[in-house]
Amino acid sequence: MARIETTLSIGDVAKRTGSAVSAIRYYEDEGLIHAERNNAGQRRFLRSEIRRISFILIAQELGFSLNEIRIQLEQLPDKRAPTKRDWGKMSKHFRKELNHRIERLEDLRDKLDGCIGCGCLSLDACRLYNKEDRAARKGDGPRYLLGDVAETD
């Protein structure tokens, strides 16, 4: 009778997830996934780590940073893989953030034609980067990219 391995090598995990071995090592170094070591010092992954890596890949595809992904994964007890129920909770956070990003992109799209060729982020008329001429309080010239000027200045 053939014995079924309870853990996977890093190469097997790479094949199953479509990730580079270097990416899997990086995720482990960052504490996003976890591996055990066998007697030879080789990484051995529980099959559930495939789900964690899949979650990481999907969240990255949606534009979330590894730090944002880490925050979500840290909410899981015992460093386990997300379940369907966990994903439901996490997706509410992601949905809210994605809706916010969509609103910002739509705002940018709708105001873009008034900005082309301006070059100065400190004009009263710049509705994209410098609403209400906030940057003027910081001095002359273009100083900030989208979101860098705090609303509370």
Name the H helices within 10-136: 10-17, 21-29, 48-61, 66-73, 84-111
Burial class (CB in 10 A: 0-12, 13-18, 19+), 38: exposed
In the chain, the domains with their CATH numbers are 7-82 (1.10.1660.10)
Q: Can you give the pLDDT at residue 104?
A: 86
By three-state DSSP, how is residue 151 classified?
coil
Q: Can you give the pLDDT at residue 113?
A: 66
Q: What is the arithmetic mean of pLDDT over 70-79? A: 86
Span 19-39, pLDDT tens digits: 999 999 999 999 999 999 999
Span 92-142, pLDDT tens digits: 989 999 999 999 888 878 777 665 555 555 455 566 656 666 666 766 655
Mean pLDDT taken over the chain? 80
